[in-house]
Amino acid sequence: LVQVNLRKLNLEYKTAHGVKDFVPKRKQPFTRSILCDTLLGTPNGYGLGRYVVKHDSRRWRSLSALVRTLAQTGFRKAELSVDKHGSPCDADCLSHANLRWLLRGRSYSSSDAKSLLPYPQPGDYAILTPPPSKADPFDVVWGDKPIWLAYTGDALCAFSGLADIVLHDMPANSPHSHALFSDDDGLPFSGAQLDALLHHMLRRHYSDATARNYSWHSARIWLACALLASNASRAQIQAVCRWQTEESLNVYAMLGASQYSALLGSAMAVDIDAARAATLADAVPFIDRDDLHRA
């Protein structure tokens, strides 16, 4: 009854005002240019609000690695931060205990990997175990499915950013209680703190109105769109982005202009002879000239 009346009210609103207000207003996906040039390209000494960027600082190493890790994993902001600034790392926050390494074909903890990390080779991997998330609060779905981050020369290589953290900022003990991405004081970033830093980084290149179209979730959308554009299957996209249903995939994995154009171009170039079984005898692809004369 509620659904029937809600539909009636929506139809009345549509008649009076159109459908513009019904269209969801979601964040835009990052582009590679935003990730590499606008975020990672923030120059040394640039002011992000009250914070002045220092490329040799713990905060910047964490921010740089966080951007690359989000681009390659699609983690949600809540999985990398805490609710309140100054709070310790909790069970929902990605910690140093979530990180291992596969180097030269052998598995290592971060403490044992430190001697090899300055000299990465093709075939080396950073291995992240996903923390709990809003879709998997007890980590029973994704907690046993590692994320493999290969060493490459790409600007968005998460391996390199994570290795930098281990080499400079790894805690001496209790890896479970230390956030993988942390501020200069060693405490995890808060969600609000990360939001403010992102907005300041975006404002270096874009207007305030444009910057507000993006959030850290834009990295998750970017990954879904990039996977779709690279011809990953729907099941593969769902697995990499850790969605339990296809509903989120349908929302976030969007075709870009070039992919859309290529699909339509291919479609326009083919001839089809598909037909429904119930009216197969009368289907246009199968009627012959005698049928046309009789008609």
> Residue 278, Cα to own-chain centre: how many angstroms?
45
> Residue 265, Cα to own-chain centre: how many angstroms?
29
Residue 288 is predicted with a pLDDT of 64
59 neighbors 196 (Cβ within 8 angstroms) = no
**Model confidence, pTM:** 0.87
* C-alpha to C-alpha distance for 162 and 61, rounded to whole angstroms: 9
pLDDT of the chain along its 295 residues, tens only?
999 999 999 999 999 999 999 988 889 999 999 999 999 999 999 999 999 999 999 999 999 999 999 999 999 999 999 999 999 999 999 999 999 999 999 999 999 999 999 999 999 999 999 999 888 899 998 888 999 999 999 999 999 999 999 999 999 899 999 999 999 999 999 999 999 999 999 999 999 999 999 999 999 999 999 999 998 999 999 999 998 888 888 888 888 888 888 887 888 787 777 767 777 666 666 656 666 667 6
**C-alpha closest to that of 173 among 111, 87, 101:** 111
227 neighbors 235 (Cβ within 8 angstroms) = no
b or e along 192-224 (b: 16 or more beta carbons within 10 Å of the residue's beta carbon)?
ebbeebbbbbbbbebeeeebeebbbbbbbbbbb
Residue 28 is predicted with a pLDDT of 93
